[in-house]
Amino acid sequence: MMRGMIFALFCLLSLAGCAEKAADRGAAAETRTLTIYSTSDLEVFQPVIDDFRTTHPDIMIEYVDLEAAELDRRFREESAGAGSPADLLLSAAMDLQVRLVNDGFAAPHRSPNAAMVPGWARWRDEALGFTFEPVVMVFNRKAMAGRRIPMSRPELLAALREDPEFWRGRIGTYDAATSSVGYLVVSQDARQSSDFGAIAEAFRDSRVVTAGTTSEVLRRIESGELAVGYNVLGSYARAEADRSSNLELVYPSDYTLAVARTAVVPKSAPEAAAAHLFLEYLLSIRGQRILTNRSRLSAVRPEIDGPYSRLGIAEKSVGPLRPIALGPGLLVYLDAQKRQRLLDLWSGHSAR
């Protein structure tokens, strides 16, 4: 992802058609600009924006692609008076979105479509998940030639202990100290896995290589620099694996975490009505199908089918799917002391 860079999307072609119709009616079409801060790559989200604008040509979209921590910081600063705040916040850092809700920044969004979002992906009607993305391991098949591919955390740990030299410098994962999504999944591993401490130690001994994004980890796996990526977002990984026969995705058989990209409409949104319209579209059957079939982000609504849907994932040979639930429990590891202790354990000796 190109973090910190602003991608302003003003879809002018469809506006030209709208203006012609308005001229025929003898009045100019009134337009609005919806500002979205998002952690999703514009390339991934473009089909969603394009489809939304076919039914709402009067709403232009300014899409700002940011890393999750920067998104959170920037919004808070702007809300304190340093600028015009965004209208809609879309982030995979579920814990940071929950904190915004807890701190009183969010407006509720209630609708029949919102009611169809599973309970784990909805909190106080103010934080709403719109995707369902398993967290996976990805292996380079050529690098693993002649070796059994581990299918779970215990199997990966056993492989690291059996041949530490093979794995040294060849394991990649998020940099939990700088990536908010990386920190989120590490904190959930700490809660879920009895092997967490042992895996952290084995990763440090193996000189684990860290990166700020899933895309960077995948690039290094594809190049052969890495043999495995751990805690990789399955949406990006699966799309890349569809293009490369050399990548193998593993949904860990002990448990598979799932992240929901989460939407928050700020109370301070200058274009609140447009923000709610866009969120309603994201949660609708139509929007969820576009997310799944064109953006390749698995829909959160269980009735959506297809290879990139929840159904398509559940049909695979996977262990227990454990979605990360939106709610106050995610605030625990945002405590500064707890965060530092976890980072000291997990990534204190990571290679860069």
Return the DSSP state at 111. -
Q: Report the alpha-carbon distance of residue 170 to residue 181 in Å, rounded.
A: 21
- The per-residue pLDDT for 236 is 87
Residue 212: count other Cβ atoms within 10 Å of its Cβ: 17
Q: Report the alpha-carbon distance of residue 221 to residue 233 in Å, rounded.
A: 14
By C-alpha distance, which of 174, 193, 194, 199 is closest to 184?
Answer: 174
Domains defined along the chain, listed by start = 6-132+260-318 (3.40.190.10), 133-258+327-347 (3.40.190.10)
- The per-residue pLDDT for 285 is 97
- The sign one gets for the Cα dihedral 288, 262, 277, 126 is positive
Q: Report the alpha-carbon distance of residue 274 to residue 288 in Å, rounded.
A: 18
201 contact partners, CB below 8 Å, separation of at least 6: none
- The per-residue pLDDT for 314 is 61
Task: Report, in angstroms and rounded to the nearest whole number, the Rg of the chain calculated over CA atoms.
Answer: 21
Q: Report the alpha-carbon distance of residue 63 to residue 35 in Å, rounded.
A: 6
- The per-residue pLDDT for 317 is 59
Beta bridge partners of 338: none
Residues 8 and 62 sit within 8 Å (Cβ to Cβ): yes
Print pLDDT tens along the chain (352 aa): 444 444 444 443 344 444 444 444 433 458 999 999 999 999 999 999 999 999 999 999 999 999 999 999 999 999 998 777 899 999 999 999 999 999 999 999 999 999 999 999 999 999 999 999 999 999 999 999 999 999 999 999 999 999 999 999 999 999 999 999 999 999 999 999 989 999 999 999 999 999 988 899 999 999 999 999 999 998 888 888 888 889 999 999 999 999 999 999 999 999 999 999 999 999 999 999 999 999 989 899 988 876 656 656 665 556 788 999 999 999 999 999 999 999 998 875 444 4
For residue 203, which phi and psi values (nearest 5 degrees)?
Answer: -65, -40
349 contact partners, CB below 8 Å, separation of at least 6: 204
Q: Report the alpha-carbon distance of residue 345 to residue 177 in Å, rounded.
A: 11
pTM here? Answer: 0.87
